[in-house]
Amino acid sequence: MAIAYADKGLVTVFGGSGFLGRHVVRALLKRGWRVRAAVRRPDLAGHLQPLGMVGWVQPVQANLRYRWSVDRAVDGADAVVNLVAVLAPSGRQTFDTVHTFGARAVAEAARGVGLDTITHVSAIGADPDSDSDYARTKAEGEAAVRETLPQSVVMRPSIIFGPEDNFFNRFAGMARMSPALPLIGGGKTRFQPVFVGDVAAAIADSVEGRARPATTYELGGPEVVTFRECMELMLREIDRKRLLVPLPWSVASMIGSIAQHLPGKLLTPDQVRQLRHDNIVSEAAIAENRTIQAFGVKPTSLAAILPTYLSRFRARGEYENRPA
């Protein structure tokens, strides 16, 4: 991997060891930035070290619930990126503490070291009036950032896919063991899956000042697909045939109320509420050039990436011979 040798400065990336985080860290290193990865468990962030030159990646302990750790993580930083989010609450890591309180803490800490902007990653569907706690607190986090640093850039991606994703990998794993897969609400919810590398490139551009200040970008891929179509794509790629069973909203909510207490939290009532709404780039964002194309990124298709990491779920693994 070619890495620029010019030292552009130090970026603190909150959530730098996660699925999106590792790709953001890689993108920034390739452009010549040093990275401080602010994570809850630095001992589990060793996979970041090989991404850059010796000394260019520094994992540090930070927890958004503890302001002193946030302040320490941004001390001396030239830019700040906040990627931290939870898909389901766990213990003290609630939607409110992470998405709202945590986002404000990051923005206030950045302001404290003299920065006038951060790059904050939210989600398509963020809405202060949503019946989903995830979507509501995501919107409250955006508002907290903008109240503190009005020039900040907000990124709202649709479902992000890539080698370590929690969507296609999860359902492909289920397909290895289960004869059927659920289609919540009939599988009609629309998504616009966006490749993690494309999202990371847009975030790196924002750090380098290529985003319009005080702007919310909606990041989607080149295809709009339904939940059912996502499952069909995944099953074709792993060469397995499974029943796709429509689940009415009421049944899905009932299952979620039980599954949320099981290890892994495969489904929660809040996730069912989220699935009632499409997760695609808005017409307003397209008209106002607030999409991933604004960064000169040509979105990567599902077909180009899914084969690179779903092959392990085939019956005979990635070396299985498949028809041309």
Of 27-41, 42-56, 182-196, 287-301, the poorest mean pLDDT is in 42-56
Query: Do 198 and 219 contact (CB within 8 A), yes or no?
Result: yes
Of 88, 244, 84, 251, whose CA–CA distance to 171 is shortest?
A: 244
pLDDT digits (tens, 9 = 90+) for 269-303: 999 999 999 999 999 999 999 999 999 999 999 99
**Residue 148 CB partners (closer than 8 Å, separation 6+):** 104, 107, 108, 111
Instruction: Using the CB atoms, write b or e for 134-165: b if 16+ within 10 Å.
Output: bbbbbbbbbbbbbebbeebbbbbbbbbbbeeb
Query: d(Cα 33, Cα 53) in Å, to the nearest integer?
Result: 11
pLDDT digits (tens, 9 = 90+) for 82-104: 999 999 998 899 999 999 999 99
In the chain, where does DSSP find H-type helix? 19-30, 67-74, 95, 102-112, 133-148, 168-177, 196-207, 227-238, 249-259, 269-274, 283-287, 302-310
* Residue 5: pLDDT band with limits 50, 70, 90: low
The two beta strands, 190-191 and 225-226, are antiparallel
Enter the tokens of residue 312. 């392990």
Write down the pLDDT at residue 29: 97
Query: d(Cα 20, Cα 155) in Å, to the nearest integer?
Result: 12
**Backbone torsions φ then ψ of 288, nearest 5 degrees:** -95, 10
